[in-house]
């Protein structure tokens, strides 16, 4: 049996490249050990079969941002039934158009951004990228979000006008937003700076009971046709 060595050393010998280049290959998911992708350069190997993908490219592994269609009942804040574990390799949307190669490292240290109420569904953002974190945290109140809200009951006189402008929440006047009927039971909200529970309270103020809430857009990024519980990557060219 051969002595164990770090995988990066073995790949450097195999590819006749520097140790740092070998680490990039490994972290990029281009290296297999006995047929299994290993992304840790420090992984120890002895007599195992180490192979470098013929299509391997030298490029730094970028932090990932995942767009997930959250089901009802999962928390985006707190540890009670958190939504983050839903982002797994097997739940990736088969029609993901991003072209991003799936890596196990993309599921580590994800931060949930732009929270969504437990009883709501729709688009949420899980990210490792500090640039995305800053955009969605520091500029959150300037980014428009779009919701489809299913309601029950009879809307009060001038209720739609009041939903657009004229209501209060948590003791403060709400800024104007854009609310319209999508059909006879669904309202479409385009709103900035929305807080937890706000949409339900707004509807209650005009005599409507909320049945369901689904977020379909954050800034310029849509939920589109992605099924509940599935996810896709945010590609480099897509911006909120």
pLDDT in tens, the chain (240 residues): 568 899 999 888 888 889 988 888 888 888 899 988 888 888 998 888 899 888 888 877 789 999 999 999 999 987 788 999 999 999 999 999 998 989 999 998 999 999 999 999 999 999 999 999 999 999 999 999 999 999 999 999 999 999 999 999 999 999 999 999 999 999 999 999 999 999 999 999 999 999 999 999 999 999 999 999 999 999 988 999
Residue 60, in any domain of the structure: no
Q: Report d(CA 240, CA 238) in Å as an integer.
A: 7
Q: Are 71 and 122 found together in one domain?
A: yes
Query: How many domains does one find in the chain?
Result: 3
The residue written with tokens 């379909």 in the block is 216
Specify whether 159 is located in the same domain as 109: no
- Domain co-membership, 127 together with 154: no
Of 198, 205, 193, 212, give the one whose Cα is nearest residue 160. 205
DSSP annotation string for 25-81:
HHHTT-EEETTEE---TT-EESSS-EEE-TT------PPPEEEEEEPTT-BSSSSSS
> What kind and span of H or E run contains 8?
helix 7-15
Local structure of residue 235 (DSSP, 8 states):
-
Domain span holding position 35: 5-52
Same domain flag for 149 and 134: no
Judge whether 239 lies within some domain.
no
Q: What is the pLDDT of residue 62?
A: 84
pLDDT of residue 7: 92
- Residue 143's pLDDT is what? 97
CATH number for the domain including 133? 3.30.70.580
């Amino acid at each position: 049996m051969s002595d164990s060595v770090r995988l990066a050393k073995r790949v450097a010998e195999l590819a006749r490249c520097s140790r740092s280049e070998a680490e990039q290959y490994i972290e990029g998911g281009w290296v297999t050990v006995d047929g299994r992708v290993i992304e840790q350069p420090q992984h120890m190997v002895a007599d195992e079969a180490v192979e470098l993908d013929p299509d391997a490219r030298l490029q730094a592994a970028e932090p990932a941002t995942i767009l997930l269609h959250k089901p009802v009942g999962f928390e985006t804040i707190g540890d009670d039934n958190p939504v983050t574990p839903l982002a797994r390799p097997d739940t990736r949307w088969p029609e993901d158009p991003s072209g991003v190669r799936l890596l196990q490292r993309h599921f580590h240290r994800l931060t949930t951004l732009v929270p969504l109420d437990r009883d709501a569904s729709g688009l949420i953002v899980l990210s490792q990228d500090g640039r995305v974190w800053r955009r969605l945290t520091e500029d959150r109140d300037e980014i428009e979000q779009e919701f489809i809200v299913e309601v029950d009951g009879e809307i009060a006189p001038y209720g739609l006008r009041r939903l657009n402008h004229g209501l209060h929440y948590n003791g403060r006047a709400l800024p104007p937003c854009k609310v319209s009927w999508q059909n006879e039971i669904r309202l479409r909200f385009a709103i900035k700076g929305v807080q937890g529970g706000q949409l339900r309270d707004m509807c209650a103020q005009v005599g409507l009971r909320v049945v369901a809430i689904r977020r379909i857009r954050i800034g310029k990024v849509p939920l589109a046709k992605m099924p509940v519980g599935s996810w896709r990557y945010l590609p480099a060219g897509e911006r909120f």
